[in-house]
Amino acid sequence: MNGVHDLGGMHGFGPVAAEPEREEPVFHADWEPMVLSSMLGTTRLRQWNVDEFRRNIEQLPPVDYLRLSYYEKWLAALERLVVEHGLLTEQELATATVQGPRLDPAQIPAAWVPSFDPPSSPPAFAAGEPVRVRNRHPHAHTRVPRYARGHVGIVERHVGGEPLPEDASVGVLTVQHLYRVRFEADELWGEDAVGNDPVYLELWESYLEPVGERA
């Protein structure tokens, strides 16, 4: 998805004004640990997965995405998820009044089980092989940053089989080979690249194509 959330590497936004790592607190407000614990607690219900969570953050209106803090985005996504999966209603959220439990704690369904079989086919790419990121612009959730699309990198290693985020974001389990790919800074940023620091991305097989081919 080409959304406001995917600003990394885009021109015109300037450097990231990050807090010094040694000075940055774990939380910036007293309510933030409650959001974290709520997210971890509801995850145990097995009603959604991390890519569904990411999809809901990405679907926030652009103005909200830019003005909300990190944990405010988490809270907004969590509110959307509990309604989407029928755990609460919009009215219950607005009034902070729950009419009744939606799940029996003793019979929580395993809607998303984090174990899966590896892909049946062998990996298409090997360590040391050059690959190009397919230049696609999907309307749904994806883990391919815009700045990498169309660029060539070198496969560092085959990571294994992992659920494809596009399908996982709507609750469908599709396992693909995953690769760690190294991109040189000048490949991504051209002559504007600063330094020689490479960028490493973990990319699914359907995101990649052999150099010399175009999707």
Would you place residue 127 in the very low, low, confident or very high pLDDT band (cuts 50, 70, 90)?
Answer: very high
Both 134 and 90 in one domain: the answer is no
3-state secondary structure of 203: strand
Q: Please, are residues 118 and 176 in contact by the beta-carbon 8 Å criterion?
A: no
Of 37-46, 72-81, 127-136, which range is least confident? 37-46
Does 202 lie in the same domain as 97? no
Predicted pLDDT of residue 11: 66
Same domain, 102 and 177: no
Out of 45, 79, 112, a domain closes at 112
124 within some domain: no
Q: What is the mean pLDDT of residues 43-63?
A: 89
Nearest to 55 by CA among 137, 141, 143, 138: 141
- pLDDT of residue 172 exceeding 80: yes
137 and 67 belong to one structural domain: no
Q: Which of the listed residues 112, 138, 169 is the one where a domain comes to its end? A: 112
Residue 123 forms part of a structural domain: no
- Give pLDDT, residue 203: 98
Rounded Cα distance between 138 and 164, Å, is 14
Burial category of 200 from C-beta neighbours within 10 Å (exposed 0-12, middle 13-18, buried 19 and up): exposed
Give me the phi and psi of 101, to 5 degrees please: -70, 140
Q: Which of 57-61, 63-67, 145-149, 205-209 has the highest mean pLDDT?
A: 205-209
Higher pLDDT, 10 or 160: 160
Q: What is the CATH number of the domain that holds 24?
A: 1.10.472.20
What is the residue range of 84's domain?
1-112
Give the CATH number of the domain where residue 174 resides: 2.30.30.50
Domain membership flag for residue 169: yes
Co-location of 151 and 65 in the same domain: no
Residue 181 near residue 123, CB atoms below 8 Å? no
Q: Is the same domain home to 4 and 108?
A: yes
One domain, residues 40 and 101: yes
pLDDT value, residue 106: 65
pLDDT at 213 over 80: no
What DSSP letter does each residue of 132-184 carry, written as one string? EE-----SS--S--GGGTT-EEEEEEEEEEEE-HHHHTTT---EEEEEEEEE-
Of 112, 140, 168, the position where a domain reaches its end is 112
Same domain, 186 and 89: no
Query: Is 70 within a domain?
Result: yes
On whether both 9 and 42 belong to a single domain, the answer is yes
Could you read off the pLDDT of 67-118 as tens digits, one per residue? 999 999 999 999 999 999 888 889 998 888 888 767 676 666 555 556 688 8
**Contact status, residue 140 vs residue 168, Cβ threshold 8 Å:** no
- Average per-residue pLDDT for the chain: 87
Residues 88 and 22 in one domain: yes
> Residue 202: inside a domain, yes or no?
yes
Answer yes or no: do 19 and 81 share one domain: yes
In a domain, 125, yes or no: no
Please state at what angle helix 70-84 crosses helix 50-58, rounded to 10 degrees: 110
Query: How many independent structural domains does the chain possess?
Result: 2
Contact 10, 189 (CB under 8 A): no
- Answer yes or no: is 120 within a domain: no
User: Is residue 134 domain-shared with residue 80, that is, in the same domain?
Assistant: no
